[in-house]
């Protein structure tokens, strides 16, 4: 059985409430940090743990914290990114819904480390009921002396607020989130300056994902070294994976980083194999923004090694034959799924969610969506396929924020690995006119040939 | 403070700390200056949106010579000592810029024949230099209804490239925030809180900063092609602005009044609405002499009506048919 750190007490009835959470060892990290450690000690433990940001980019958290500017007389802020809107990702919701206190606890401990007297949890607008749960947890923490003035008599003051999001995926991008939190239109800022220097209200700010902040709790409780023992190489600790798609047991799993992908998909401990006895066709391992992998690259890398659930192994082979761990939105496709349709669906999302500030993303996302729609409906041409690749290339890397990349990568990867399926849509418009094409029989009965990297 | 050395397309210059790559390139000269559709020197926080000014930083600085991983917006990236930048010399940059221009034109109506901006439109220049001769967009282009912003300015959103310059004018020169962007992504639009609310002494400058024909002067609408007019520097005593303007004349008649634009298409000084809209009598002004324009400008190609009998008469067709 794999070790669990965040969801260890998930099975305990009533763990949502303060009493049960506390009686199961909750808020120990706050006691330990505030009473026995200096803020820098906490940062040091997080550095030692090797924890990397769980929001998608995987940036080392300890390093991010140590970049925080500390000018005299200027407040610092910790902001929790709970805007979780990436298609395929639902782990933060699960955590906040089931164990809200671990987030509140992590927020207090992290704020102490950063010297922040105010923190905000920015929760996705559609998660309004989750916001109520977290607000209740915060109220309980206040009532029990974990928040407010002079916490545990240590002189540390801290106030925590929940902000319900603006209802846009782009508000999850950290600088757009800060704009939105300030009450403005959620447009990403042009960087530099980075939030660590000038973030919320122009003050030094750390933005971290829900899961990142929750992971600080076991790190402080057990020590960074202990945390770093789990995992492989630079992928330390545990990770929440939102598993969805054509699997027997969709849901949120806490895994030790390093579990083989094959085991994750097929073992009964996790996804339990492909549903309805079908075959695996493809997998998007890290949320809609990361490249899709065809069956033969899911469980093995291009060099024939076992693919593992780590930052490094999932990106092995670069974009030619690899993907990314991203936010851990693990989507599995069986042989009946249409990749063109799926790609169109993703591109529809990015088209809808582009903030529209910069021209490549504003115009390019809509263009790709229209071309993909045409292909999916059997009305496209062969030249559309290359057009897609070219448009994706013109967006990628040329935008203000990574949403442009996130829109371009899945399209480029789908064409890279499933070009035959796009061609099939052009050559057999009669077969794909039916919106349920693929459901009765696989779109492409022939197994695709591996591309060489 | 010591100066920083930066090399752009193999030409080196020393600049003050804080100078952006774009500004440094402009100091070297037009041969190396990237095009800029959204940056505007006099508008704080402008730039970064259009991405036409992308350049490649092939050497970050003397201290850290690593190249930057992505192309950067030269208007928002400051120079470091020893930095080396490739603009027109980098095929990657030219390729990316062509892509940006294609994106900017993707939904543009290309109604230049009936657009007041034609002849002084930065998008026209840019597409002439970087554009494809044929669009690859086979889908319907987005359109918007025309909106009046007060009685002097018309917003034709269909032509807008969302450069945010007018938003910055509104933010920085009007007391209340009434003009901005609504909606998201491809359907974003410039809008005014209450359509007639931008009633401010300096609102007319939106027309001058707009790089395309999205914001036009209603007092000049369809009166003439700009290249038939003769630009003349003039001034008057004004208690709101410097009173330094350009009169656009046909014979003795003043067709329109604008700010004085420099080599980069940016106004030297913002002018007030009184000077712009209400002082159309020659007696209001002291003329200084013809405005010097680049030889390459299509406006310089016009012959001020001396050779041709064609007089641009006000168009009488109803607006509907024109758009
Ligand atoms: C378009 C876009 C959407 C994002 N959405 C989220 C999100 O919903 N949740 C999140 O934690 N990070 C999201 N991110 C990543 C954040 O910008 C940021 O990297 C993250 O919050 C940093 O936290 P971490 O270091 O703990 O991962 C998004 C990024 C982009 C570009
Ligand atoms: S890349 Fe897209 S979402 Fe990001 S700033 Fe540009 S237009 Fe907005
Ligand atoms: S109306 Fe003109 S100035 Fe305003 S954003 Fe559009 S193109 Fe720019
Ligand atoms: S001028 Fe630099 S991005 Fe527009």
Q: What is the ipTM of this complex?
A: 0.91
pLDDT in tens, A403-424: 999 999 999 999 999 999 999 9
Give the pLDDT of residue A159.
98
Residues of A in contact with B164 (CB under 8 A): 357
pLDDT in tens, A199-228: 999 999 999 999 999 999 999 999 999 999
B107 close contact with A: CB closer than 8 A:
yes
Residues of A in contact with B181 (CB under 8 A): 185, 356
Query: Could you say which of B49, B71, B137 has the minimum Cβ distance to residue A358?
Result: B49
Range(s) of chain B covered by CATH 3.30.70.20:
112-302
Distance A327 CA to ligand 1 centre (A): 8
> Distances from the Cα of B167 to the Cαs of A157, B7, B26, B40, B157, in angstroms?
40, 33, 25, 12, 13
CATH topology match: A18-229 vs A232-334: no
pTM of the model: 0.92
Q: Computed over its alpha carbons, how large is the radius of gyration of chain A?
A: 22
Q: Is B73 in the pocket of ligand 4 (CB under 6 A)?
A: yes
Across the beta sheet with B83-86, the strand order is B11-15, B4-8, B83-86, B54-59, B72-73
- Asked whether residue B310 carries a pLDDT value surpassing 50, the answer given is no
> Distances from the Cα of A367 to the Cαs of A169, A389, B108, in angstroms?
19, 12, 13
Comparing CA positions, the residue from A230, A246, A229 lying closest to residue A238 is A230
- Res. B307 pLDDT band, cuts 50 70 90: very low
Give the pLDDT of residue B129.
87
Choice between B186 and A448, residue whose per-residue pLDDT is larger: B186
**Coil, strand or helix at A163:** strand
- Res. B306 pLDDT band, cuts 50 70 90: very low
B179 close contact with A: CB closer than 8 A:
no
Give the pLDDT of residue B311.
46
Give dist(CA B61, CA B79) in Å, integer.
Answer: 8
Give the pLDDT of residue A445.
54
Give dist(CA A292, CA A415) in Å, integer.
Answer: 10
- Asked whether residue B82 carries a pLDDT value surpassing 50, the answer given is yes
Residues of A in contact with B96 (CB under 8 A): 394, 398
B188 close contact with A: CB closer than 8 A:
yes
Residue boundaries of the structural domains of chain A: 18-229, 232-334, 339-440
The A residues from 303 to 362 touching B (CB cutoff 8 Å) are 351-362
B103 close contact with A: CB closer than 8 A:
yes
Give the pLDDT of residue B323.
35
The correct CATH number of B112-302 out of 3.30.450.40, 3.40.250.10, 3.30.70.20, 3.65.10.10 is 3.30.70.20
Q: Which ligand is nearest to the CA of B180?
A: 3
Query: Could you say which of B48, B100, B137 has the minimum Cβ distance to residue A360?
Result: B100
Residue to test with chain B: of A377, A398, A403, most B Cβ within 10 A: A398
A300–chain B nearest CA distance, Å: 29
Is the domain spanning A232-334 CATH 3.40.640.10? The answer is no
Choice between A348 and B191, residue whose per-residue pLDDT is larger: A348
- Res. B135 pLDDT band, cuts 50 70 90: confident
- Asked whether residue B105 carries a pLDDT value surpassing 80, the answer given is yes
Average the pLDDT over B58-76 and give the result. Answer: 96
pLDDT in tens, A254-309: 999 999 999 999 999 999 999 999 999 999 999 999 999 999 999 999 999 999 99
B48–chain A nearest CA distance, Å: 7
- Assigned CATH topology for domain A339-440: de novo design (two linked rop proteins) (1.20.1440)
Residue with CA closest to ligand 3 atom 8: B163
Percent of chain B with pLDDT over 90: 67
Q: Are the Cβ atoms of B185 and A397 closer than 8 angstroms?
A: no
Are the C-beta atoms of B5 and B61 separated by less than 8 Å?
no
- Asked whether residue B309 carries a pLDDT value surpassing 50, the answer given is no
- Res. B209 pLDDT band, cuts 50 70 90: very high
Comparing CA positions, the residue from A146, A113, A147, A119 lying closest to residue A26 is A146
Residues of B in contact with A359 (CB under 8 A): 49-51, 100, 103-104, 161-162
Give the pLDDT of residue A451.
53
Lowest model confidence (mean pLDDT) among A103-117, B15-29, B72-86, B303-317? B303-317
Distance B164 CA to ligand 3 centre (A): 6
Average the pLDDT over B181-206 and give the result. Answer: 78
> Distances from the Cα of B105 to the Cαs of A112, A389, A416, B235, B265, in angstroms?
51, 19, 28, 37, 20
pLDDT in tens, A335-345: 999 999 999 99
- How many other CB atoms are found less than 10 A from the CB of residue A236? 26
Distance A165 CA to ligand 4 centre (A): 29
Give dist(CA A348, CA B312) in Å, integer.
Answer: 47
Q: Which ligand is nearest to the CA of A168?
A: 1
pLDDT in tens, B252-294: 999 999 999 999 999 999 999 999 999 999 999 999 999 987 7
Give the pLDDT of residue A444.
65
- Res. B308 pLDDT band, cuts 50 70 90: very low
Average the pLDDT over B9-36 and give the result. Answer: 97
Distance A165 CA to ligand 1 centre (A): 14
> Distances from the Cα of B78 to the Cαs of A72, A120, B184, in angstroms?
26, 32, 29
Are the C-beta atoms of A240 and A328 separated by less than 8 Å?
yes
The correct CATH number of B4-98 out of 3.60.15.10, 3.40.50.300, 3.10.20.740, 3.40.920.10 is 3.10.20.740
Give the pLDDT of residue B55.
98
Q: Which ligand is nearest to the CA of A354?
A: 2
Give dist(CA B38, CA B50) in Å, integer.
Answer: 6
- Asked whether residue A1 carries a pLDDT value surpassing 90, the answer given is no
Average the pLDDT over A378-387 and give the result. Answer: 96
Distance A177 CA to ligand 1 centre (A): 9
Q: Are the Cβ atoms of A398 and B104 closer than 8 angstroms?
A: no
Give the pLDDT of residue B46.
95
Give the pLDDT of residue B197.
52
Average pLDDT score, chain A = 95
Average pLDDT score, chain B = 88
Q: Which ligand is nearest to the CA of B121?
A: 3
Give the pLDDT of residue B267.
95
Give the pLDDT of residue B195.
55
The B residues from 46 to 85 touching A (CB cutoff 8 Å) are 47-51, 54, 70-71, 73, 76
Percent of chain B with pLDDT over 70: 88
A147–chain B nearest CA distance, Å: 37
**DSSP labels, B97-132:** HHHHHHHHHHT----GGG-TTTTS-HHHHHHHHH--
Give the pLDDT of residue B292.
81
Choice between A451 and A395, residue whose per-residue pLDDT is larger: A395
Distance B49 CA to ligand 4 centre (A): 6
Residue to test with chain A: of B51, B74, B137, most A Cβ within 10 A: B51
Q: Which helix (H) or strand (E) holds B78?
A: none
- Ligand 2: residue of A85, A166, A188 to mutate (most ligand atoms within 8 A of CB) is A188
Residue to test with chain A: of B184, B188, B189, B190, most A Cβ within 10 A: B184
For the CA of A170, the nearest atom of ligand 1: 1
Q: For residue A95, give the DSSP letter.
A: H
Give the pLDDT of residue B319.
41
Average the pLDDT over A134-158 and give the result. Answer: 97
Average the pLDDT over A303-332 and give the result. Answer: 96
Q: Is B50 in the pocket of ligand 4 (CB under 6 A)?
A: yes
Q: Are the Cβ atoms of A353 and B71 closer than 8 angstroms?
A: no
- Res. B193 pLDDT band, cuts 50 70 90: low
pLDDT in tens, A7-39: 999 999 999 999 999 999 999 999 999 999 999
Residue with CA closest to ligand 1 atom 10: A55
Residue to test with chain B: of A176, A357, A371, A397, most B Cβ within 10 A: A357
Give the pLDDT of residue A242.
98
Q: In the CATH scheme, what is the code of domain A18-229?
A: 3.40.50.11540
């Amino acid at each position: 059985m794999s070790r669990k750190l965040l969801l260890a007490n998930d099975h305990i009835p009533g763990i949502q409430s303060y009493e049960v959470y506390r009686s199961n060892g909750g808020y120990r990290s706050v006691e330990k940090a505030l009473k026995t450690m200096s803020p820098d000690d906490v940062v040091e433990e997080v550095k030692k743990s090797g924890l990397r940001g769980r929001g998608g980019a995987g940036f080392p958290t300890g390093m991010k914290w140590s970049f925080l500017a500390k000018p005299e007389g200027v407040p610092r802020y910790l902001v929790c990114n709970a805007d979780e809107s990436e298609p395929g990702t639902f782990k933060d919701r699960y955590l906040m819904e089931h164990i809200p206190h671990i987030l509140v606890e992590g927020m207090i401990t992290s704020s102490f480390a950063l010297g922040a007297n105010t923190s905000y949890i920015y929760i996705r607008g559609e998660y309004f009921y989750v916001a109520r749960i977290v607000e209740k947890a915060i109220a309980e923490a206040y009532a029990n002396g974990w928040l407010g003035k002079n916490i545990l008599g240590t002189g540390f003051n801290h106030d925590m607020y929940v902000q319900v999001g603006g209802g846009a995926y782009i508000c999850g991008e950290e600088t757009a989130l800060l704009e939105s939190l300030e009450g403005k239109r959620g447009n990403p800022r042009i960087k530099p300056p980075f939030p660590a220097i000038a973030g919320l209200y122009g003050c030094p700010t750390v933005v971290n994902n829900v899961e990142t902040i929750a992971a600080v709790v076991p790190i402080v409780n057990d020590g960074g070294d202990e945390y770093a023992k789990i995992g492989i190489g630079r992928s330390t600790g545990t990770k929440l994976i939102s598993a969805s798609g054509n699997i027997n047991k969709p849901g949120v799993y806490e895994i030790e980083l390093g579990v083989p992908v094959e085991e994750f998909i097929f073992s009964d401990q996790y996804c339990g194999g492909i549903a309805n006895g079908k075959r695996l066709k493809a997998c998007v391992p890290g949320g809609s923004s990361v490249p899709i992998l065809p069956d033969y690259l899911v469980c093995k890398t291009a060099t024939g090694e076992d693919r593992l659930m780590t930052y490094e192994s999932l990106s092995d082979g670069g974009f030619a034959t690899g993907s990314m761990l991203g936010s851990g939105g693990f989507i599995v496709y069986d042989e009946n799924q249409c990749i063109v349709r799926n790609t169109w669906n993703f591109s529809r999302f990015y088209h809808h969610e582009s903030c529209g500030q910069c021209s490549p993303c504003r115009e390019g996302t809509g263009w790709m969506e229209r071309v993909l729609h045409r292909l999916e409906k059997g009305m496209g041409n062969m030249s559309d396929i290359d057009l897609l690749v070219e448009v994706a290339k013109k967006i990628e890397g040329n935008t203000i924020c990574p949403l442009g990349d996130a829109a371009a990568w899945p399209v480029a990867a789908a064409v890279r690995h499933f070009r035959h399926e796009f061609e099939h849509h052009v050559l057999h418009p009669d077969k794909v006119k039916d919106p349920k094409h693929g459901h009765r029989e696989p779109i492409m009965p022939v197994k695709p040939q591996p591309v060489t990297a | 403070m010591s100066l920083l050395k930066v090399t752009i397309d193999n030409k080196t210059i020393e600049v003050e700390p804080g100078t952006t790559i774009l500004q440094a390139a402009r100091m070297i000269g037009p041969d190396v200056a990237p095009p800029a559709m959204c940056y505007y020197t006099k508008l704080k926080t402008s730039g970064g949106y259009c991405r036409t000014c992308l350049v490649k930083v092939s050497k970050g600085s003397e201290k850290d010579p690593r190249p930057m991983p992505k192309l950067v917006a030269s208007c928002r990236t400051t120079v470091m000592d020893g930095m080396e930048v490739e603009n027109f010399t980098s095929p990657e940059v030219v390729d990316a810029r062509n892509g940006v221009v294609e994106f900017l034109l993707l939904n543009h109506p290309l109604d230049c024949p009936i657009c007041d901006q034609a002849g002084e439109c930065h998008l026209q220049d840019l597409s002439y230099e970087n554009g494809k001769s044929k669009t690859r967009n086979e889908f319907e282009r987005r359109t918007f209804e025309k909106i009046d912003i007060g009685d002097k300015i018309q917003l034709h959103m269909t032509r807008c490239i969302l450069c945010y310059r007018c938003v910055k004018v509104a933010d920085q020169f009007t007391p209340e925030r009434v003009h901005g962007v609504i909606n998201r992504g491809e359907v974003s639009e410039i809008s005014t809180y209450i359509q007639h609310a931008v009633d401010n002494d300096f609102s007319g400058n939106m027309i001058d900063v707009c790089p395309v024909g999205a914001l036009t002067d209603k007092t000049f609408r369809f009166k003439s092609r700009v290249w038939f007019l003769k630009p003349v520097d003039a001034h008057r005593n004004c208690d709101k602005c410097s009173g330094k303007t350009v009169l656009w004349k046909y014979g003795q008649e003043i067709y329109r009044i604008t700010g004085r634009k420099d080599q980069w298409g940016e106004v030297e000084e913002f002018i007030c609405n009184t000077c712009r809209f209400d002082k159309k009598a020659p007696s209001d002004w002291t003329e200084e002499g013809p405005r010097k324009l680049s030889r390459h400008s299509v406006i310089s190609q016009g012959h001020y009506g001396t050779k041709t009998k064609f007089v641009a008469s006000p168009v009488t067709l109803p607006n509907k048919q024109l758009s």
